[in-house]
């Protein structure tokens, strides 16, 4: 079964606007971590933000914030004030408990328009 | 620090050939892993290592071998290349296996098997 689901293959956003990327996950482990990575066209994977299952507050890192809804098993990434450099593929990923493996979603391509 | 480095950047192989993808990190990270990225599927874990001399299988280990003789290096060997192994390969490392520890990715190796 798919552990991470990203339902939006591609999105367009106007420069300076906010965009929300959806991510739902499936786990029965009470201890897990959720990660978002950015992959620009150059190909490297860049870590953006982390949310732990026991964290009380939603994670924030600069213009990135995570809308964590535990009961709904969703961990949506919000990018505020989009910039042209935000155009990239974005991946949601999860680690469960003591398992080192990162399970990735299929990704969402974001294109920022000027 | 150079971070995580991978060589080569790009390789073309014929079916049945063998080769080694190199990965090195200079951050004294204990944990290292190999992922492959295929279109529409995100990244999938091939093998990982929790320290020198210790390796374990990931989600898609068939057709690949690894060894970890030093902390710095974690080569991935393709024993007999097949067209299904055409992919982009990423090496990643992290300092520990703590849940919130992010994995740092190398730039990737693009492999084409004819």
Question: Which pLDDT score, from 0 to 100, does residue A1 have?
Answer: 65
C-alpha to C-alpha distance for B47 and B65, rounded to whole angstroms: 8
Q: Give me chain A's average pLDDT, please.
A: 94
CA distance A94 to chain B (A): 10
Minimal Cα–Cα distance from B20 to chain A, Å?
20
**DSSP three-state, residue B100:** coil
d(CA B75, CA B61): 14
Q: Chain A partners of B40 at a C-beta cutoff of 8 Å?
A: 106
Asked if A95 lies within 8 A of B104 by C-beta distance, the reply is no
Q: CB distance from A85 to chain B under 8 Å?
A: no
Helix (H, G, I), strand (E, B) or coil at A19: strand
Q: Which among A37, A47, A106 is the nearest to B41, CB-wise?
A: A106
CB contact under 8 A, A91 and B42: yes
pLDDT band at A4 (very low <50, low <70, confident <90, very high): very high
pLDDT of amino acid B102? 87
The torsion angle over the Cα atoms of residues A20, A23, A24 and A25, rounded to 10 degrees, is: -150
Tell which residue, B96, B67, B18, B90, has the closest CA to residue A37.
B90
Determine the average pLDDT of the residues in A51-57. 93
The span from the CA of A68 to the CA of A73, in Å, is 8
Q: What is the DSSP letter of A98?
A: T
Residue A74: what pLDDT? 97
Mean pLDDT, residues A46-67 taken together = 95
Mean pLDDT by 10 residues, chain B (114 residues): 92 97 95 93 92 93 96 96 97 88 93 97
Q: Does A95 touch chain B (CB under 8 A)?
A: yes
- What's the pLDDT score for residue B19? 96
Q: Is the peptide bond before B8 cis (omega within 30 degrees of 0)?
A: yes
Per-residue model confidence (pLDDT) at position B22: 98
Contact of B95 with chain A, judged by CB distance below 8 Å, is answered with no
Task: Tell me which chain A residues have a C-beta less than 8 angstroms from the C-beta of B47.
Answer: none
Whether the per-residue pLDDT at A42 is higher than 80: the answer is yes
Confidence class for position A83, pLDDT limits 50, 70, 90? very high
- Cα A74 versus chain centre, distance: 10
């Amino acid at each position: 079964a798919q552990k991470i689901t990203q339902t939006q293959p591609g999105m367009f956003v106007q420069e300076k606007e906010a965009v929300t990327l959806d991510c739902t996950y499936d786990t029965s482990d009470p201890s897990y971590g959720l990660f978002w990575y950015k992959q620009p066209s150059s190909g490297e994977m860049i870590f953006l933000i982390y949310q732990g299952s026991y964290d009380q507050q939603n994670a924030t890192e600069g213009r990135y914030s995570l809308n964590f809804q535990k009961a709904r098993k969703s961990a949506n990434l919000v990018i505020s004030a989009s910039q042209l450099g935000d155009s990239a593929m974005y991946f949601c990923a999860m680690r469960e408990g003591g398992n080192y493996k990162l399970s990735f979603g299929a990704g969402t391509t974001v294109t920022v328009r000027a | 620090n150079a971070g995580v480095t991978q060589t080569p950047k790009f390789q073309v192989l014929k079916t049945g050939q063998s080769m080694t993808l190199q990965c090195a990190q200079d951050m004294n990270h204990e944990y290292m892993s190999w992922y492959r990225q295929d279109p529409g599927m995100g990244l999938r874990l091939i093998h990982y290592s929790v320290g020198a001399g210790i390796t374990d299988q990931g989600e898609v280990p068939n057709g690949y071998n690894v060894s970890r003789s030093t902390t710095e290096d974690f080569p991935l060997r393709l024993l007999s290349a097949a067209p299904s192994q055409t992919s982009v390969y990423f090496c990643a490392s992290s300092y520990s296996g703590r849940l919130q520890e992010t994995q740092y990715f190398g730039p990737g190796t693009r492999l084409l098997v004819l």
